[in-house]
Amino acid sequence: MEVRVRIAPSPTGFFHVGTARTALFNYLFARQNKGKFLVRIEDTDIERSEKKYEEDILSELKWLGLEADEEILKQSDRTEIYKKYLHNLVEKNLAYKCFCTKEDLDTVRQSQMVAGMAPKYNGKCAALTKEEIKVKEVASEAYVFRLRVPEQKITFSDLIRGEVTFDGALIGDIVIAKSDENVLYNFAVVVDDYEMKISHVIRGEDHISNTPKQIFIGEALGFSRPQYAHLPLILDSKRAKLSKRFAAVSVADYREQGYLPEPFLNFLGLLGWHPKEDREILSALEMIAEFNLERVQKGGAIFNVEKLDWLNQQYIKNLSNEKLLELLGKEINEKNLKIIDLVKERLVKLSDYELLIGFFFAVPDYERELLVWKDGGLEKAREVLEKLLALQKLDKESVMALCETFGNGPVLWPLRVALSGSKASPGPFEILEVLGEGEARNRLQIAYNKI
């Protein structure tokens, strides 16, 4: 059997990191098994689906290198296909029109809950005759289509969680379409997976309650059952479901912050899965070679931003200076190469670059007290700055000679602050080399004037 898996996001919001993790696990599984990774856009929710979200999904999948092996399908293009399968169920009396109003359903649900029963549809319209249905249609009564769900237990083998059992008697007849032009999620998913020849459905555990419904729909249609694997949810540091209150949740957010696709994929791959040897840095090819659903954990995966930052920093350190400047959109010239060499070790994200190098182009404003080395006082700092300005040549040799009189800290600290305007920056001699002596003297004079 050919392995065929899919990622099926809904274009009702920007591409979520949880969906990206699911896409990656599907991609790794397909590649390891020499199968196909497919993409389907589930845009049946007409009111909430937007083109901008669809474009974002496809853009971020491309950025991550998770592109589909076959043509991308859109559910909005498949109405006639769904209609054919829906009518087939109605003709076989496996589905029926339900004319119950919302008020009717709410009343039944409340009475069931008061009686301590599981709320489900009571089957009121399941036995309507053709004549009764015709009368209601002539009266233009609104209706939905319901699937006749057998009152029996159904068990499926989850490749991560083992055997899972649901009782159809507790589910009741489920709505599968609002009209023959508007089928609902569970019905469309089953038809699509069958027509796309999906062999394995790998998705988040929040979908596990949909699985028995989809199995019942598939069996009614006579479809073979795919294998299921439900991934753990991604949780924040407090073990709550990942939300915007905790961190950015769209892939675009992280991309814009300056994370690279390779460490981001690396990070996603370790959310709920780990290789045999607990290595932290893994390329896509290494993850493909080692990925195994048996090593996917059942419990929630903690989203650790600090770990993502560390991974991103390691990848940045391993880039050539030229490649890094290219990613930053900077000209590759002698000055920029010197600057990137100075700040590269401190870059966590690409967006940090402008903050780290801004002082090379304009010294920021700072308080004069910053020029003071430990408890040396302003007068001591003023004296050192005066001596630095008096040097015939402002270079490392001359400065270090001054250090023999005043000490390293009392000389190098105010020099570095004067040149960078910051207490955290590259060393003073590295900055001096980039700025040049003329600009360095200007900055020393500004520092001296502050005192």
Instruction: Catalogue the active-site residues.
Output: 244
The label of the residue with tokens 């039944």 reads: 108
Q: Which residues contact 333 (CB under 8 A, 6 or more apart)?
A: none
- Interatomic CA distance for residues 206 and 350, integer angstroms: 34
- CA separation, residue 369 to residues 151, 280, 418, 446 (Å): 79, 42, 11, 14
Q: At 54, list the tokens.
A: 């669809």
Q: Which residues contact 129 (CB under 8 A, 6 or more apart)?
A: none
* Phi, psi of 222, rounded to the nearest 5 degrees: 80, 25
C-beta of residue 52 within 8 angstroms of C-beta of residue 289: no
- Interatomic CA distance for residues 91 and 21, integer angstroms: 41
- CA separation, residue 172 to residues 130, 190, 191, 206, 358 (Å): 22, 18, 21, 20, 64
CA of residue 73 relative to chain centroid, distance: 22
Per-residue DSSP letter, 112:
H
Q: Computed over its alpha carbons, how large is the radius of gyration of the chain?
A: 32
